[in-house]
Amino acid sequence: MLSISAIEEIFKKLSVLNPEPTTELEYKNPYTLLVAVVLSAQSTDKGVNKATRTLFEKVSTPQQMVEFGEEKLKQAIQTIGFYNTKAKNIIRLSEILIQEHQGQVPQNRAALEQLPGVGRKTANVILNTVFGKPVIAVDTHILRVTNRLGICTAKTPLEAEKALMEKIPSKYLQHAHHWLILHGRYICQARKPKCYLCPVVDICEYKEKNLVKSKT
């Protein structure tokens, strides 16, 4: 396992390369980010953006979404996986925001997790990206990257989240989530990590590093 000073070094390097990392999901306000994150479960940010670009021109508040209705929403997001369930959740979630939160996205985990389609990971994305809380939303990228690096040996996202909250120096916690996701998406990819491009290759403990760029 990496020492705390090695972990600090990783985040120092990532922070120099990208001082202000953020989500690649497109959104207009906290509500549209919440919708985009719900849509992104088991789907790519690119695929979600393609559908929401037009949708968010017409619909950007819970009230507008409820008026838009489930059938139209299904049509608008039909290119996204599980769109039937996601449409149902988004309409219900919008109704709850209107009835219980004055149409606003709540700023606390318990209220967020009570919304349909919103689990711990989505709640953490909102708390981090909208409200600036130093929390980490662990997805498959973060689980893989942090295990390979030697930051933790977690088997589940929750285990990883707890370990990362303990081990990542507090000054890097605010952006750690996006640094790790972007690193996993573009460099430390699942099938073949691009270790030959990796800015933290000298610190990483992964034994099967891919140090040669293939020609194909």
In this structure, what token pair is assigned to residue 31? 């509500």
Residue type, 195: C
199 vs 10: CA distance, rounded Å: 8
Residue type, 146: T
Q: How far is the CB of 176 from ligand SF4 (least distance, A)?
A: 14
Nearer Cβ to ligand SF4 (131/196):
196
Give the residues lining the site for ligand SF4 (CB under 6 A).
Answer: 148-149, 187-188, 193-195, 198, 200-201, 204, 206, 209
Nearer Cβ to ligand SF4 (157/193):
193
What phi-psi label fits residue 103: left (phi over 0), alpha (psi between -120 and 50 degrees) or beta?
A: left
Nearer Cβ to ligand SF4 (96/201):
201
Active-site residue set: 121, 139
Q: How far is the CB of 7 from ligand SF4 (least distance, A)?
A: 12
36-to-24, 26, 84, 117 alpha-carbon distances in Å: 10, 8, 15, 11
Q: How far is the CB of 204 from ligand SF4 (least distance, A)?
A: 3
128 vs 171: CA distance, rounded Å: 14
